[in-house]
Structure 1
Amino acid sequence: MKLLSKLLSIALLSTLAGFSLVASAEEYLVEVVFFGQPSAPLVQGSNPELDWEVDAVDLENTARTDVRAIDQTRYRLSDQARKLEQNGYQIYLHQAWSQPLDNDLVVALHRGNPENGVYPIQGLVNLRQATLTELKVAFWRNRSAAELQLQSETPLISEFLHQTRALRPGEVHYLDHQSLGMLVTISR
């Protein structure tokens, strides 16, 4: 009877360890560097909606344990971001986090102080699995027309980068826009 009990305990522990490995294999590390192109003309895009993050998980304020920010010492794109800065690019946001691969999960990122619900830098990231691992991003750089010394019908001028891209884990991908750019990497 003791032998049967020990065998069942070992089998149960092996099963739990197997579930743990499967769960951790489904966890992804996502890192983005959002930046401005040097000397690029302002390319005005659509302004964000005031409820831009309503269905998203705010990385800075989430209580979810399966979506969490990663310490900057673990960033993989730090060297690339430094090289961009040395070449005159302006880094607006550099963030990394871990998350499960969940087609319905959208992560919201932002920097700066919001004015009327709009941050100077804000973005949405959705990592999903179709036939390939796919990343969908929507990022805004928002400035006032007064700050830009522009005469405009709207007080807010936004640059908007919006792309969907199939990604291979472990590779660095470049998303291009006329005045903005983004480096993205995902890994398991």
Structure 2
Amino acid sequence: MTQDDFRQKCRAAGIGDDKPLFLVLEMLFDTAVAAKDAVQDGARGLTREGEADLVKRIARQADASMRDAAAKHRLRLERKTSLIAGTVAAACLLLGGGGGYWFGWSSGRHSVETTERQIAMAFQAGPDAAGIWLQLMRNNDPRKALDHCSGSTVWSDNGRQACSIPFWIDGPGAPENSNR
């Protein structure tokens, strides 16, 4: 039986080259082939020292064969593991990046849609009221105006809080010349 026949029989039995059992079987096969070759080459008339030397040679050959097969097997597993790990890492990056983008986009879109609905509700009083609200929004910065709401400027009426804030009804005037 040749090495190729041996591999085919192992595959037929469901033992692939990447299985640890294959390495053991391959080492046994190589040892049997080496012993057969030694016997066929006239080893039958060996002395005790010759037999001991033959056993040592076969053991060294089997050990070298096993080490070589184990090294090949390790390299196959390292490549396979690296490929799997790289694929998993790339998939995680793609899913994480895509998910983060989608979440940011959808939450930002939701926020804009909510604001649009609320502004539309504020403009329900008609086009004239909408124009007035638009002018007031252009003339005032709500964050700066609300900075004035503290202490004695805040009061409650019917369970709702209110405050006195500067509320500009006209647009900004001409800039003052500070060089005078």
Give the TM-score taking structure 2 as reference length: 0.21
The structure where helix makes up a greater share of residues is 2
Q: Report the structure number with the largest CA radius of gyration.
A: 2
Give the TM-score taking structure 1 as reference length: 0.21
Relative CO higher for 1 or 2, CA cutoff 8 Å, sep ≥ 6? 1
